[in-house]
Amino acid sequence: MFTFRIRHLAALSLSALLIAAGCGSNSNSANNAGSTGANVNPNPSPPIVETSSPAPDKLNIKVSFYPLYEFTKNIVGDLADVETLVPAGIEPHDWEPTARDMAAINDADVLVYNGAGMEAWAEQVLDSASGSKLITVEASKGLEIMEGTGEEEAHAEGEADDHDHADEDHEHADEAHAEEEPGHDHHHGGLDPHVWLAPALAIKEVRTIEAALSAASPENAAAFHTNADSYVAKLEQLDQDFKDGLAGTKRTDFITQHAAFGYLAKEYGLTQVPIAGLSPEQEPSAAQMAEIVEFAKAHDVKTIFFETLVSSSVADTIAQEIGAKAAVLNPIEGLTDEDRSNKLDYVAIMRQNLEALKAALNE
pLDDT per residue as tens digits for the range 151-183: 433 333 333 343 344 344 434 333 333 333 333
Backbone angles phi and psi of 324, in degrees to 5 = -105, 180
- pLDDT for residue 282: 66
Contacts of 147 (CB under 8 A, 6+ apart): 184, 185, 186, 188, 189, 190, 191, 192
The yes-or-no verdict on residue 5 having pLDDT over 90 is no
Distance, CA of 75 to CA of 219 (rounded, Å): 14
Write out 126-139 in H/E/C secondary structure. HHHCCCCCCEEEEC
The tens digit of pLDDT for each residue in 277-294 reads 666 666 788 888 899 999
Return the higher-pLDDT residue of 309 and 164: 309
pLDDT digits (tens, 9 = 90+) for 79-117: 999 999 999 888 888 799 999 999 999 999 999 999 999
Across the strands, what pairs with 255? Answer: 273, 304
Q: What is the DSSP string of 41-87?
A: -SSPPPPHHHHTSPPTT-EEEEESSHHHHHHHHHHHTTSEEEEESSP
Q: How many CB atoms lie within 10 A of CB 327?
A: 17
| C-alpha to C-alpha distance for 273 and 178, rounded to whole angstroms | 7
Q: CB-based burial of residue 203 (10 Å sphere; 0-12 exposed, 13-18 middle, 19+ buried)?
A: buried
pLDDT at 131: 67
pTM of the predicted structure, to 2 decimals: 0.74
145/178: higher pLDDT: 145
Nearest Cα neighbor of 272 from 209, 179, 334 is: 179
pLDDT at 213: 98
